[in-house]
Amino acid sequence: MRELKYYVACTVDRFIAREDGSFDFFLMEGEQVVDLLESFPETIPAHFRDRLGISGENKCFDVVLMGRRACEAGLKEGVKLLRI
């Protein structure tokens, strides 16, 4: 049987973004980001990894699903998302 893993980025108060949809409080620099990208490179869309200098194959997940609002945030930032 396959294992199902649930992985989510959120703050201590269990929110992923502010009420206005902004997520600027998630720091995208520092040791935690290096560790995140080394441990879970598949959390970044595969077609966008090269731009960020992320190499390597998926380590933990075969499939990563994102919610509508997460996709919309990526689109606003210029990330073209692969839709299935």
Note whether 41 and 49 are within 8 A (CB): yes
Confidence (pLDDT) at 14: 77
Which tens digits make up the pLDDT trace of 60-84? 888 777 777 777 777 777 776 666 5
Confidence (pLDDT) at 83: 60
d(CA 14, CA 49): 27
d(CA 37, CA 50): 12
Please name the residues in contact with 71: beta carbons below 8 A apart, sequence gap of 6 or more: 81
Which tens digits make up the pLDDT trace of 17-66? 777 877 777 777 788 878 888 888 888 777 777 777 887 778 888 877 77
Q: Indicate if the pLDDT at residue 4 is higher than 80.
A: yes
pTM value is 0.57
Confidence (pLDDT) at 71: 75
